[in-house]
A and B are shown apart, each in its own frame.
Chain A
Amino acid sequence: MIRKLPLVTIAAAMLPLVLGSVAAGGAPLADAPAATSTERSWSLPRDEPELLPGPGREAFYSACPTCHSTRYVTDQPLFGRDAWVAEIDKMKKTYGAEIRAEDTEKILEYVLSVNATSHR
């Protein structure tokens, strides 16, 4: 159910996130300014499964990966509806995730489906 995201897709999906002076694929930007002698830099790999098509996928991708990898879903054991409702609620109320009201139910159905599929 998980396949690797092509690099170009990762770049396209890059949200307003910044990983230092690092390109989406983890390689340093070709035109990045030369590091001063006292500067240390590291590049972080993206190693994120693209989740399969399904109802609610668009709503999911418009919100959740802004802050974290899709692995935050695929790392989880099998949970029921109540647990995922609580998680989404926490992301909205505690962490301020910007999820439109009409998208909440779509995201819920999608993560339930992803979670169930990964434990089938």
Chain B
Amino acid sequence: MDRGRRSFVRLLGGASLAALDGCRRKVTLGEDAGRAASSSMATPSASVGPLGPLSSARPAEPSAEAFPEKSRDLLLHTDRPPNLETPLHRLTDDLTPNDAFFVRWHLQQLPTTVDVEAFRLGVGGHVARPLSLSLEQLRKLPAVEVVAVNQCSGNGRAAFGPRVPGIQWTQGAMGNARWRGVRLKDLLDKAGVKAGAADVVFGGLDRSPVSSVPDFEKSLAIDLAHGGEVMVAYSMNGTELPMLNGFPLRLVVPGWYSTYWVKALDSIQVTSKPFEGYWMAKAYRVPKNDEATEQKGTLAKETVPISRMNVRSFIVSPSSDAALLRGTAIELGGVAFDGGSGIRRVEVSTDDGVSYRDAVLGVDLGKYSWRRWKSMWTPPSAGVHTIRVRATSGSGETQPNEATRWNRSGYMQNAVERVSVRVAG
């Protein structure tokens, strides 16, 4: 089937299904979003992604050269630097295959050549014994593993209303993988962090072609960096990291948005003063309130660096174009995760949120992993049915029914997801 001409409808709470003609559906999701959606639907467009008119991302043309180590069905947002989204149908597993794992870079010069023998990871700054470690040396240190979700801060940005600029991720700027590497704590202890340390700053091999663009550097407070859970990973799902996911080393910060998971990591610097680099002080910040929310007309005066992920759940199947029959049972399924307290409960609605029932939770791979959920459903009647899903975390956090959160950068979307399907009688 020509994916480009297919119109999916996967909506967040707050979106209303205004019209449905079986092929193209009109959505409204905030005033601006509604306008954008309507206007893009006036003419059938070849650019229709998983959020229908909300995103123009689609797989690259079959004639185009594939991105290295990546499947051709990833949705192409931008090619330079590469920003590729995982389509929902590749999110059906406990662990997301490396070739389907989403890709997000900020600067266009990527480390497309790495000499694995000459490569060194530097650990320095406010330490007693600066280190310069080869990959071989790192692999000889005690190894640890964690299964953890890696999710972009802007996953779901396309569903914000009013719309906000940035890569228009729908739902696939996330994946779940088994990461293997060394504890950052062990490296810091080896280097001997001096008293009075404030932050640890992480840098990678990527660069901008112009010197005015700040290098991509992120920092974590020393207590978190030294807490034992943050990892320098050299392996992803049992094999080396794909270049586009950070070969040869990547920081893994379980429970935190992927902006901190610095790729092609080659520099770890301990500071004695709070780090104030661009990517911490100016970018990747959210309004300083519990809901990370502000209004377009009155932006929050105070912002803080984005940090831990909020609770989310997704419907992976059925897709909105599934062929369903009245009286024939199907399995609904998807994934749920939060920032580290685990998933306590997932509830599913097949009547657009009027009533919910508990879904069955899949295998528990740890508090930082996502957890698959499933629920059987027999469509009771022909026509359009809307399925919703919501999760409750181990700490009791749940998802807002409506897409009420808004911030200027389109971060931390977590409204209840829904999908409308047509049932034949």
B42 within 8 A of A: yes
B1 within 8 A of A: no
B64 within 8 A of A: yes
- A36 partner, pick from B76, B78, B115, beta carbons under 8 A: B115
Contact (Cβ within 8 A) B113 A120: no
> How far, in Å, is A28 (CB) from chain B's closest CB?
10
> How far, in Å, is B163 (CB) from chain A's closest CB?
4
> How far, in Å, is B284 (CB) from chain A's closest CB?
13
Complex: A14 Cα to B227 Cα, angstroms: 45
**Which residues of A40-80 are within 8 A (CB) of B?**
40-48, 66-69, 71-72, 74-79
- A69 partner, pick from B39, B78, B111, B118, beta carbons under 8 A: B78
A-B contact pairs, 19 of them (CB 8 A): A4-B61, A18-B109, A18-B209, A20-B112, A20-B113, A39-B114, A42-B112, A42-B113, A44-B110, A45-B60, A45-B66, A68-B80, A71-B76, A74-B56, A75-B55, A75-B168, A78-B32, A78-B39, A95-B210
Interface centre among A36, A68, A74, A83 (most CB of B within 10 A): A68
- B116 partner, pick from A22, A40, A96, beta carbons under 8 A: A40
- The 8 A CB mask of A65-107 against B (1 = contact, 0 = none) is 0111101101111110001001100000011111000000000
B65 within 8 A of A: yes
Known: A38-B116, A39-B114. A66 touches B36 (CB 8 A): no
Contact (Cβ within 8 A) B117 A75: no
Complex: A118 Cα to B209 Cα, angstroms: 28
Q: Nearest chain-B residue to A22 (Cβ)?
A: B112
Which residues of chain A are within 8 angstroms of B278 by Cβ–Cβ distance? 94
B142 within 8 A of A: no
> How far, in Å, is B105 (CB) from chain A's closest CB?
10
Which residues of chain B are within 8 angstroms of A98 by Cβ–Cβ distance? 210
B208 within 8 A of A: yes
Known: A75-B168, A77-B163, A96-B212. A68 touches B282 (CB 8 A): no
> How far, in Å, is A62 (CB) from chain B's closest CB?
14
- A77 partner, pick from B68, B79, B168, B210, beta carbons under 8 A: B168
Which residues of chain B are within 8 angstroms of A113 by Cβ–Cβ distance? none
Which residues of chain A are within 8 angstroms of B249 by Cβ–Cβ distance? none
Which residues of chain A are within 8 angstroms of B60 by Cβ–Cβ distance? 45, 47
B243 within 8 A of A: yes
Which residues of chain B are within 8 angstroms of A15 by Cβ–Cβ distance? 209
B67 within 8 A of A: yes
The 7 closest A-B pairs by CB, nearest first: A96-B212, A20-B112, A38-B117, A45-B65, A69-B80, A71-B78, A42-B68
Contact (Cβ within 8 A) A76 B110: no
Which residues of chain A are within 8 angstroms of B39 by Cβ–Cβ distance? 78, 119-120
Which residues of chain A are within 8 angstroms of B108 by Cβ–Cβ distance? 17, 19, 67-68
Residues of chain B whose beta carbon lies under 8 Å from any beta carbon of chain A: 32-33, 35-36, 39-40, 42-43, 47, 54-57, 60-61, 64-69, 76-82, 108-118, 158, 163, 165, 167-168, 208-213, 243, 247, 278, 282
Contact (Cβ within 8 A) A39 B113: yes
Residues of A contacting B: mostly: loop
Known: A38-B115, A68-B78. A44 touches B109 (CB 8 A): no
In this complex, how many residues of chain A approach chain B with their Cβ under 8 Å: the count is 47
Residues of chain A whose beta carbon lies under 8 Å from any beta carbon of chain B: 4, 15-22, 25-26, 35-36, 38-48, 66-69, 71-72, 74-79, 83, 86-87, 94-98, 118-120
Residues of B contacting A: mostly: loop
Contact (Cβ within 8 A) B168 A21: no
Which residues of chain A are within 8 angstroms of B43 by Cβ–Cβ distance? 120
Which residues of chain A are within 8 angstroms of B80 by Cβ–Cβ distance? 44, 46, 48, 68-69, 71
Which residues of chain A are within 8 angstroms of B66 by Cβ–Cβ distance? 45
Complex: A77 Cα to B211 Cα, angstroms: 29
Contact (Cβ within 8 A) A19 B68: no
Interface centre among A26, A69, A95, A97 (most CB of B within 10 A): A69
Contact (Cβ within 8 A) B65 A47: yes
- B65 partner, pick from A26, A71, A87, beta carbons under 8 A: A26
Which residues of chain B are within 8 angstroms of A47 by Cβ–Cβ distance? 60-61, 64-65, 76, 79
Complex: A38 Cα to B65 Cα, angstroms: 25
Interface centre among A21, A66, A72, A86 (most CB of B within 10 A): A72
Contact (Cβ within 8 A) B213 A46: no
Contact (Cβ within 8 A) B112 A19: yes
> How far, in Å, is A97 (CB) from chain B's closest CB?
8
- B165 partner, pick from A46, A69, A83, A95, beta carbons under 8 A: A83
> How far, in Å, is B73 (CB) from chain A's closest CB?
15
Q: Nearest chain-B residue to A90 (Cβ)?
A: B165
Q: Nearest chain-A residue to B109 (Cβ)?
A: A18
